[in-house]
Structure 1
């Protein structure tokens, strides 16, 4: 009974959070240049990411019905930006253009771990200190600055 109540309360909290964040972000538009100098349309990347909100998490999954963190970011960039990026969070960090926290933009990737050489998680930065990421609760919107994450860097695919 308590387990079901906990799942129910988490689901309600997630829906409320997503509704608030989605309402505050609707209509947001940012375009930035990728490493080749071609414009990537954040709106399309965000649209693909947003469409996957609520999709379940599964270690090693690359979508479209289940994701792990880097499988999610890879999927979003492939389907929203027509861009191929590496498979794992560490490889995505290692092979993309680094940007500082001060210069991060919507559509950049944010990385977490104990250091830049030990990255264990990645999310899609959507502005206002928020990201969309695939984690044990599925694909959700949450704050980059959370007690359970240690942000170690940003990059721009």
Structure 2
């Protein structure tokens, strides 16, 4: 067989090998992208757990599930819904989680209230549209973040959540 004949017979085979390799690589990248997004905990799980406790009574120092204080509620919701442990008190939750700016706040982030970032006295979970779910003297409720009785001092992200 001549060198030219071998070369011309080899071209379609090499093209087929290249196409198969490209297809396998593309499928692998697509699977990895899907795995990356599904590896993130879902906001819907966190929100669903929080909503289950609407109306639960407030008791100072309580960590649930029959009574909550503000930080006991956020701690319980994150642990129960996605297995994420966060510190016990509102001040410690602020110190121990990643800070985010008001312009980058997302559903599931925590919002803190008080006199300053050194004097945090309350925490709630942001649920979108300027609202939060929190435990306060009326129990676990949904309310506006920017209300006359609250002074927002910061936001944090206890976990990176997926919003699918």
Instruction: Quickly name the TM-score band, shorter chain normalised.
Output: 0.7 to 0.9
- Partners of 1:66 and 1:50 in 2: how far apart? 14
- Partners of 2:41 and 2:152 in 1: how far apart? 24
Shift of 1:40: 2.3
The aligned counterpart of 1:69 is 70
In the alignment, structure 2 segments of 5+ residues that lack a partner are 1-35, 159-164
Secondary structure of 2:47's aligned partner: helix
**TM-score, normalization by structure 2:** 0.72
- Partners of 1:91 and 1:40 in 2: how far apart? 22
Q: How many residues align?
A: 121
Which structure has more helix as a fraction of its residues?
2
Q: 1:56-84 CA distances to partner (integer Å, 9 max, x unpaired)?
A: 00000000000000000000000112100
**TM-score, normalization by structure 1:** 0.76
Give the CA RMSD over aligned residues: 1.1
Secondary structure of 2:68's aligned partner: coil
The aligned counterpart of 1:107 is 108
Which structure 1 residue ranges, 4+ long, deviate > 6 Å from structure 2?
none
- Partners of 2:117 and 2:125 in 1: how far apart? 17
Could you say which structure has the larger radius of gyration?
2
Secondary structure of 2:115's aligned partner: strand
The aligned counterpart of 1:4 is none
In the alignment, structure 1 segments of 5+ residues that lack a partner are 1-32
Secondary structure of 2:83's aligned partner: coil
- Partners of 2:41 and 2:104 in 1: how far apart? 17
The aligned counterpart of 1:45 is 46
The aligned counterpart of 1:97 is 98
- Partners of 1:71 and 1:145 in 2: how far apart? 22
The aligned counterpart of 2:117 is 116
